[in-house]
Amino acid sequence: MSSAAVELASISGSTSITEATSISGSTSISLDLAPNAHVNQYEYIVENGKTQDFNSLINKQTNRSLFKWTNDLNDGRELWRRILLSLSGLASFLNALYIVLVIKGKLSSYMWGVIAAIIYGVFAFAYGYVGDAQLNIMVFLPMQLIGAYLWSNQLDSELTIRVHALSILKWIFVIILCAALAPMFYWEIPAFSKLITKQYIFETMITPHILDALTNSLSVVAQVLVIFRYWEQYILWLAVNVMNIIMYSGLLQTPLDINLLLAWIVSSIYTLVGLYTWFRRWKSSIRIKPELQEIFSLSDQK
């Protein structure tokens, strides 16, 4: 498992609790249920291209394999779907590369982000991961293109993007935007899920349903903050991670899910690294500005 890339749901964001989003990162971990049951997105990608379900280690009453490829084969899934499952491993690796490059503030991150969004979006549609498919194809893919254009005009001498901070007024706007999007997702996610898969897993669970809408709204706004280079994006990503950790720890109406709990804990670690890195970069830019102003003033005097 040493070569497995770990998916960061935090930056790309999206993260539907029903099918948490993938552009953010690289370790997929998936709850492999009965043949026609709802399946969460995260799958642990290992060296041989197969996926593991850690819940099978603690659930001794099921006859499910550790490897999702084996379960899909036994369940009679089509070959093309299983091939797309293997491609999701490539998407996971590219997502991991995307995340690292975003943390470093490199423009090249968007090239890998575009490829990963397309591959994982197609895979998500094939496997019925409605939240993932929707966020990757309809939100993250166009945002990758917009972000690449905006970042290309904001590079420093080391070809690293300049980082900004939100003002009080901008923070108020961010909060209002999150609050406005949440009710929309509260109604839209179940409708879209039923349209594609004929079901919505949290339909009778009020608290998980609300958290599902909140994590989606926060993820979309956080992705907007990414392309406009605000370090506070990581605060939103961290909030998304915490909500998902609570969701899958068994504290609410949903059962304990080791797969997703592990994924969101790892995601939180990467989010904290990104938060520290971008905040330091912003603080450094503040310290540099007065020095530059002094140089320019001396230049004008001459």
pTM confidence score: 0.71
DSSP codes, 194-208: HHHHS--TTTT-HHH
Which residues have a Cβ under 8 Å from the Cβ of 53 and sit 6 or more positions away?
29, 30, 31, 32, 43, 44, 64, 65, 66, 68, 71, 259
Return the C-alpha torsion angle 255, 133, 163, 97, nearest 10: 90
pLDDT at 5 (0 to 100): 33
Contact call for residues 99 and 161 (beta carbons, < 8 A): no
- pLDDT mean values, one per 10 residues, the chain (302 residues): 34 40 39 35 38 57 65 76 74 82 89 89 77 84 92 74 92 97 92 84 84 90 94 95 86 74 84 94 74 48 50
Helix (H) or strand (E) holding 52: strand 51-52
Helix (H) or strand (E) holding 62: none
User: Distance (Å, rounded) from C-alpha 180 to C-alpha 258?
Assistant: 32
User: Distance (Å, rounded) from C-alpha 85 to C-alpha 43?
Assistant: 10
pLDDT at 275 (0 to 100): 95
Which residues have a Cβ under 8 Å from the Cβ of 270 and sit 6 or more positions away?
6, 8, 10, 11, 25, 99, 103
Burial 146-163 (b: 16+ CB within 10 A, else e): ebbebbeeeeeeeeebeb
DSSP codes, 129-173: -HHHHIIIIIIIHHHHHHHHHHHHTSB-TTSBBPPB---HHHHHH
Contact call for residues 109 and 101 (beta carbons, < 8 A): yes
pLDDT at 194 (0 to 100): 87
pLDDT at 196 (0 to 100): 80
Contact call for residues 287 and 87 (beta carbons, < 8 A): no
Which residues have a Cβ under 8 Å from the Cβ of 127 and sit 6 or more positions away?
39, 81, 84, 85
User: Distance (Å, rounded) from C-alpha 183 to C-alpha 187?
Assistant: 7
230 φ, ψ (degrees, to nearest 5):
-100, 130
pLDDT at 175 (0 to 100): 97
User: Distance (Å, rounded) from C-alpha 5 to C-alpha 89?
Assistant: 9
Q: Where are the alpha helices (DSSP H) in the chain?
A: 55-58, 68-74, 79-103, 109-127, 130-133, 141-152, 168-197, 206-227, 233-248, 258-301
